[in-house]
């Protein structure tokens, strides 16, 4: 679950008295450690060290802003548009996918980038069995085709391809969505303006700094070679391909996704940190204290969300915990294919979507989704996959499917939950 290397902690016997003290420590940009803990405990995204507190969701902000003010960083990230949620799309649920005449594909399809739109459409029809391919942007068309080939080859020809691929604007802050009739829709408003989307995303991140000469610096707790390389090439040498730009966007969105989840549910991440034996031992060795007493999970969980947020920030800063997860340039497509295959595999699929999606179509929130959101053990298990996995059973399955397609293995509790919700075989 975690790869822990070269753990060091120099802030011994730190006394965590209150949020203000913690915020001052968390914002100390000179408080760099040279030996970070590299872990994937909380899914994709990274814990930043140069922030006061973690972010929040727009939905949460709407409900809570009248009761209490948001922190500076929370307001900043909410105001930036919360593009974290755009890494994956929604599901338009009105019924099960039509099962007639599934196309049998070759186990291994060789992808060749099309030189024009007509060739891209022909490739989609001939090799992927896609009846209608309404994409008028060659970069997007090649990205979609290559992504679908990637899924097909991983599934040895058993993947169920969309009947139609559409490229159009829709209102969601999503990059793509899978319709119940088998249509994969790529959001033209976002994907079609990827350079502008990236520039806005970079400017919105307080821990990514872009200088006039094109140099980019990232907070050390966020930094990975992949992200640093892509950022430098986008901002300075400007030689990224379309697919690499999508990959960069997904890396940035992953960071935001993590911050948003920690801002709303810091207790989930705290539990995962303390439940990891090696990290828990390092917390003790560091001598971290809260109100004069050694940090104990049971006591931390009694505190309000803001105090939990501050304690989590201090733990990450003091131990220089580095949460990393590599994003694949096809993650958006693979996630949506996960929804498609899940819908065919699961008789109860309509009851597994996000609560707001069920309400939008006039349904009461299902017992399955209620249990998923309210059961602490289920939420802890889902968080091992990604923050977005905690949104609903359907998103958990799609995110797990994405990992499995990418060759990642998960612990048995994750796979047991995947089977419970009838995740498709991979």
Q: Do residues 35 and 320 touch, judged by C-beta distance below 8 A?
A: yes
Nearest to 315 by CA among 2, 22, 38: 22
Q: Do residues 95 and 180 touch, judged by C-beta distance below 8 A?
A: yes
Nearest to 279 by CA among 310, 308, 316: 316
- pLDDT, residue 404, reads 97
What is the maximum alpha-carbon separation in the chain? 69
Mean pLDDT of all residues belonging to the chain: 78
- pLDDT, residue 103, reads 67
d(CA 172, CA 79): 17
Could you please report the per-residue DSSP string of 129-172?
A: --SEEE---HHHHHHHHHHHHHHHHHTTT-----SEEEEE--SS
Nearest to 74 by CA among 378, 306, 241: 306
Is 153 a member of any domain? no
Is 353 a member of any domain? no
pLDDT for 86-100, tens place per residue? 444 444 433 344 444
Is 40 a member of any domain? yes
d(CA 136, CA 118): 9
Is 262 a member of any domain? yes
d(CA 269, CA 261): 9
pLDDT for 219-258, tens place per residue? 777 778 888 899 999 998 889 999 999 999 998 888 888 8
Task: Give how many domains the chain has, as a whole number.
Answer: 1
- pLDDT, residue 101, reads 53
> Hey, CA dihedral for 297, 302, 304, 305, is it positive or negative?
positive
Cα Rg, the chain, nearest whole Å: 22
Is 309 a member of any domain? yes
- pLDDT, residue 86, reads 40
Is 359 a member of any domain? no
Could you list the residue range(s) of the whole structural domain that residue 288 is in? Answer: 15-76+257-320
Is 298 a member of any domain? yes
Q: In which residue ranges of the chain is pLDDT below 70?
A: 1-103, 172, 323-324
**Unique residue bearing structure tokens 């995962």:** 272
């Amino acid at each position: 679950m975690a790869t822990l290397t070269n753990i060091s902690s120099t802030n011994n016997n730190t006394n965590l008295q209150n949020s203000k003290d913690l915020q001052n420590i968390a914002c100390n940009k000179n408080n760099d450690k040279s030996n970070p803990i590299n872990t994937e405990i909380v899914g994709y995204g990274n814990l930043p060290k140069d922030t006061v507190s973690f972010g929040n969701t727009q939905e949460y902000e709407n409900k809570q802003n009248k009761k209490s003010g948001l922190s500076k960083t929370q307001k900043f990230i909410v105001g930036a548009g919360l593009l974290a949620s755009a890494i994956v799309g929604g599901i338009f649920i009105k019924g099960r996918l039509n099962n007639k005449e599934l196309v049998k594909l070759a186990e291994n399809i060789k992808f060749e980038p099309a030189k024009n739109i007509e060739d891209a459409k022909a490739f989609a029809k001939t090799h992927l069995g896609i009846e209608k391919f309404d994409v008028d942007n060659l970069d997007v068309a090649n990205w979609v085709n290559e992504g679908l080939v990637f899924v097909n080859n991983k599934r040895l020809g058993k993947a169920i391809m969309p009947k139609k691929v559409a490229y159009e604007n829709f209102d969601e802050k999503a990059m793509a969505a899978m319709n119940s009739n088998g249509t994969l829709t790529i959001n033209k408003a976002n994907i079609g303006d990827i350079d502008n989307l990236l520039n806005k995303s970079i400017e919105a991140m307080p821990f990514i700094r872009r200088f006039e000469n094109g140099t980019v610096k990232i907070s050390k707790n966020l930094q990975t070679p992949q992200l640093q390389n892509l950022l430098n090439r986008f901002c300075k040498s400007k030689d990224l391909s379309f697919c690499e730009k999508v990959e960069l966007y997904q890396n940035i969105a992953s960071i935001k996704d993590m911050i948003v989840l920690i801002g709303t549910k810091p207790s989930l991440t705290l539990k995962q940190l303390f439940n990891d034996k090696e990290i828990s031992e390092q917390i003790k060795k560091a001598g971290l204290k809260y109100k004069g007493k050694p940090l104990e999970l049971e006591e931390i969980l009694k505190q309000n969300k803001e105090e939990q947020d501050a304690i989590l920030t201090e733990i990450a800063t003091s131990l220089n915990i580095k949460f990393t997860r590599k994003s694949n340039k096809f993650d958006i497509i693979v996630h949506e294919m996960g929804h498609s295959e899940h819908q065919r595999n699961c008789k109860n699929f309509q009851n597994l979507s996000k609560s707001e999606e069920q309400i939008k179509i006039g349904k009461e929130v299902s017992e399955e989704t209620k249990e998923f959101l309210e059961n602490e053990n289920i939420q802890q298990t889902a968080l091992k996959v990604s923050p977005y996995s905690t949104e609903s059973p359907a998103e958990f399955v799609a995110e797990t499917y994405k990992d499995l397609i990418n060759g990642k293995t998960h612990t048995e509790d994750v796979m047991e939950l995947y089977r419970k919700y009838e995740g498709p075989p991979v």
